[in-house]
Amino acid sequence: MIMDDLFARAKVSPVCLGLDTRHEYLPQYLKQSKMTVGEQIYEFNKKIIDATAEMVACFKVQIACYEALGLDGMACYSKTLQYAKSKGAIVIADVKRGDISSTAKQYAQGHFSGDFEADIITVNAYMGEDAVSPYYEYLDKKGLFVLVKTSNPSGVDFQDKLTDGEPLYLTTAKKVSEWGKTFIGNSGYSSIGAVVGCTYPSEFTKIKELMPNTFFLIPGYGAQGGTGKDIAEVFKGGICGVVNSSRGLITAHKGKTEEADFADYIAIATLDMKKDILKWL
Amino acid sequence: MIMDDLFARAKVSPVCLGLDTRHEYLPQYLKQSKMTVGEQIYEFNKKIIDATAEMVACFKVQIACYEALGLDGMACYSKTLQYAKSKGAIVIADVKRGDISSTAKQYAQGHFSGDFEADIITVNAYMGEDAVSPYYEYLDKKGLFVLVKTSNPSGVDFQDKLTDGEPLYLTTAKKVSEWGKTFIGNSGYSSIGAVVGCTYPSEFTKIKELMPNTFFLIPGYGAQGGTGKDIAEVFKGGICGVVNSSRGLITAHKGKTEEADFADYIAIATLDMKKDILKWL
């Protein structure tokens, strides 16, 4: 099952490289080429995948960056997923979809098969279990990361509201853990994982206690302020998730080169991040 | 501003026709044509738009049904939005996006300009205000419907949790109403509307009291169980939203025709729905 595979890779490198690619990140030589913006971004992503596939647990592709560019962007999104998979990488589609059952079925088809097929997708459970259950039939091969506690400043607006004496994110944590029980693989981790930001390390500890079989997608490292030390706190009992960095890695070449060697800088930043996390363990 | 326009149209007909189109809904003559599935669905949508544009306040297009079909589906999605707009219709893109600020900016660009430009989009605020504020700069022309209380059975899983002595959906209602205050148009309605299902009419009354300047997108009518009488309860003080029906309208021809006259049945169902709502007012 997919989380067994992801866990095995995370033990070597817990880095999740986020391909939240924007056109302004590209080096001049690509921007000046005759390709469409989507094709340019695909070239950029491809070179990053080539340079870093062996150093990361997985790639996360933020679909918003591709939707922003319309059909050209969606073609780039599709090709990026397919290229990463052709290199044997695990791909997380960061789509954060959440809708009623009949609609979630459509999203499941869209993101677990065909042009946009990914290995794992992120989902928003604010609409309750029937917004998540349509994905269950795919979970022998595929996986989910359900939003539990996000890394953004306004995440507290609703997620930290006290419900029955505890913050809502703990209620969500319990529900997600419960839903995942039917899908636990050999590693002890369920195909239903959770998104929990590393920008709130003490909250993370409480969440982990409630979710012993849950593997985590951990945003917030780097550009959003999370550090290797924050991650060390989370990984105290062993590696239990992948740590995402997007901007912090894929803009590592900015100000240093505008040529095809840009991916070297991104590879170095990726290795630095890996070391920054592993040195504390 | 867009809600002024939508309110004016809703007073004539509060029907929002949902183009949550699936291939199985199409009549045989279209399914047997040589076009791609996406092209077939576009033909289907186009005929529905032609037949009903004058009878509805707006169209709502559920993007999940198009994402399910990959790139072919996304091309169909784009063409459907553009066609509806070319007919002078207001188009709601039912995308329910919700993500951190920098990502929400990308979604705003994607759904308020270019290939996927819509007039209003649905958003999920579970991540807090910074998941919504990136859309504000568009609100002189565009609009939002933020999820407050959804119509699905599991909607209660989180939305009904008591926070500070009140269900979370009321907390959300207050926040959304607050965010909307800067964007109130001549009609008294804000460019930030709310999604509240009609399957819980008594809850709706409480929500309305907290959101005097909010226009509503109301799902749950028809296939999901809501009736004209439920809507009458909501519209007691006057029309304050648009009522969506998708399956209930766009499958009205099923079992009756497999030919090009299918849209007549959909038009009749649309007029019936309009009457079913207006007769109570």
Tens digit of pLDDT at every position of chain A (281 positions): 999 999 999 999 999 999 999 999 999 999 999 999 999 999 999 999 999 999 999 999 999 999 999 999 999 999 999 999 999 999 999 999 999 999 999 999 999 999 999 999 999 999 999 999 999 999 999 999 999 998 888 988 889 988 888 999 999 999 999 999 999 999 999 999 999 998 888 889 999 999 999 999 999 898 788 899 999 999 998 999 999 999 999 999 999 999 999 999 999 999 999 999 999 88
Task: Classify strands A162-163 and A166-167 as parallel, antiparallel or unpaired.
Answer: antiparallel
Task: Classify strands A241-245 and B192-196 as parallel, antiparallel or unpaired.
Answer: unpaired
- Domain tally for chain A? 1
CB B136 within 8 A of CB B111: no
Residues of B in contact with A153 (CB under 8 A): 128, 130
pLDDT of residue B153: 87
End-to-end CA, chain B = 26
Residues of B in contact with A155 (CB under 8 A): 127-128
B16-63 pLDDT, tens digit each: 999 999 999 999 999 999 999 999 999 999 999 999 999 999 999 999
The three-state secondary structure class of B96 is strand
**Which residues of B are annotated as catalytic?**
96
* Spatial separation of the C-alpha atoms in residues A120 and B228, rounded to whole Å: 41
A219: left (phi over 0), alpha (psi -120 to 50) or beta: beta
CB B121 within 8 A of CB A77: no
Q: Which of A21, A36, A99 to mutate to test the interface with B (most CBs of B within 10 A)?
A: A99
Does A69 contact B114 at a Cβ distance shorter than 8 Å? Answer: yes
In angstroms, the separation between the Cα of residue B277 and the nearest Cα of chain A is 24
Q: Which residue of A has its CA nearest to B115?
A: A70
Does A64 contact B103 at a Cβ distance shorter than 8 Å? Answer: yes
Question: Whose CA is closest to B197, among B164, B267, B237, B148?
Answer: B148
Q: What is the pTM of this model?
A: 0.97
Does B97 contact A64 at a Cβ distance shorter than 8 Å? Answer: yes
Q: Which of A74, A94, A147, A171 to mutate to test the interface with B (most CBs of B within 10 A)?
A: A74
Surface of B (23-82) touching A: CB under 8 A: 62, 64-65, 67-75, 78
Main-chain dihedrals φ then ψ at residue B267, nearest 5 degrees: -65, -40
CB B143 within 8 A of CB B191: yes
**Tell me, what CATH number does A82's domain have?**
3.20.20.70
The domain in which residue B65 lies consists of: 2-278
A177-218 pLDDT, tens digit each: 999 999 999 999 999 999 999 888 888 999 999 999 999 999
- Chain A touched by B161 (CB under 8 Å): yes
Alpha helices by DSSP H, listed for chain B, are 2-12, 28-31, 37-52, 64-67, 70-86, 101-112, 156-159, 168-180, 201-210, 228-234, 247-250, 262-278
Of A67, A128, A154, the CB nearest to B131: A154
**Which residues of A are annotated as catalytic?**
96
B212-236 pLDDT, tens digit each: 999 999 998 987 888 999 999 999 9
Question: Whose CA is closest to A4, among A138, A204, A139, A197?
Answer: A139
Of B128, B147, B164, the CB nearest to A157: B128
